[in-house]
Amino acid sequence: MLGLLLLLGGCTAQQRDVHESRFIMGTLVQFTVSGASEDRALAAIRAAADEMQRIEDVFTIYGDKPNVVKAFNASRPGTLVSLPEEVNRLLVDSLDVQQQSGGAFTPLIGSLSLLWGFSLPQPPGSPPSADAIASARSGVRRGQLVRAGDDWKRLSDQTMLDFGAIAKGYAIDRGMEMLRAHGIANAILDAGGDLRVIGEHGGKPWRIGLRDPRHNGEALGWFEASGDISIVTSGDYERFFIYRGRRYQHILDPATGLPADKSRSATVIAHSATLADAWSTALFVLGVDGLPLLEKRGMQGVLVDAQGKLHQAGRKLLVFHPASP
Ligand code: AMP
Ligand code: MG
Predicted confidence (pLDDT) per residue in 87-121, tens digit:
999 999 999 999 999 999 999 999 999 999 999 99
How confident is residue 283, by pLDDT bands cut at 50, 70 and 90?
very high
- Main-chain dihedrals φ then ψ at residue 161, nearest 5 degrees: -80, 145
Spacing, Cα 277 to ligand 2 middle (Å): 4
Residue 324 — very low, low, confident or very high, per pLDDT cuts 50/70/90? confident
Ligand 1 pocket member 60 (CB < 6 A): no
In whole angstroms, give the CA distance from residue 226 to residue 263.
28
Task: Give yes or no for residue 9 having a pLDDT over 60.
Answer: no
pLDDT of residue 4: 61
Give the pLDDT confidence score for residue 15 in this predicted structure.
74
DSSP 204: B
On whether the CB atoms of residues 282 and 101 are closer than 8 A, the answer is yes
Amino acid at position 57, single letter:
D
Which residues, at least 6 apart from 245, have a Cβ–Cβ distance to it below 8 Å? none
Long-range contacts of 126-133 (CB under 8 A, 24+ apart): 126/241, 126/243, 127/243, 127/248, 133/257, 133/258
Q: Which atom of ligand 1 is nearest to the CA of 162?
A: 12
**Cβ(192) to ligand 1 under 6 A?**
no
Q: pTM score > 0.85 for this model?
A: yes
Q: Residue type at 318? A: L
**Integer Cα distance of 268 and 12 in angstroms:** 30
Ligand 1 within 6 A of 251 CB?
yes
DSSP helix/strand/coil, 139: helix
- Answer yes or no: are the C-beta atoms of 236 and 247 closer than 8 Å: yes
For the Cβ of 272 lying below 6 angstroms from any atom of ligand 1, the answer is no
φ/ψ of 30, rounded to 5, equals: -110, 125
- Of 193, 261, 284, the residue nearest 230 (C-alpha): 193
Question: pLDDT above 70 covers what percent of the chain?
Answer: 95
What's the gap between Cα 19 and its chain centre? 22
Give the Cβ contact number of residue 110 at 10 Å. Answer: 25
Please state, rounded to an integer, the average pLDDT across all residues of the chain.
94
Residues 6+ apart with CB under 8 A from 223: 207, 208, 210, 231, 269, 318, 319, 320, 321
Please state, in angstroms and as integers, the Cα–Cα distance from residue 109 to each residue in 157, 181, 302, following that order.
12, 34, 25
Q: What single-letter amino acid sits at 314?
A: G
In this structure, the residue with its CA closest to atom 23 of ligand 1 is 165
* Cβ neighbours around 204 below 10 Å, total: 12
Q: How far is the CA of 203 from the centre of ligand 1 (A)?
A: 36
Q: Which atom of ligand 1 is nearest to the CA of 284?
A: 4
What pLDDT is attached to residue 13? 43
The tens digit of pLDDT for each residue in 236-256 reads 998 999 999 999 999 999 999
Tell me: pLDDT of 150 over 90.
no
State the pLDDT confidence band at 210, using cuts at 50, 70 and 90: very high
Say yes or no to pLDDT of 274 above 70.
yes
pLDDT given for residue 294 in this prediction: 97
**What one-character-per-residue DSSP string does 164-187 give?**
TTTHHHHHHHHHHHHHHHTT--SE
Pocket test for ligand 1, best of 109, 159, 166, 285 (most atoms within 8 A of CB): 109
Query: Rounded CA gap, 97 and 99, in Å?
Result: 5
Q: Judge if the beta carbon of residue 236 lies within 6 A of ligand 1.
A: no
Rounded to 5 degrees, φ, ψ at 153 are -135, 150
- 102 near 94, Cβ under 8 Å? no
Judge contact between 324 and 299, C-beta under 8 A: no
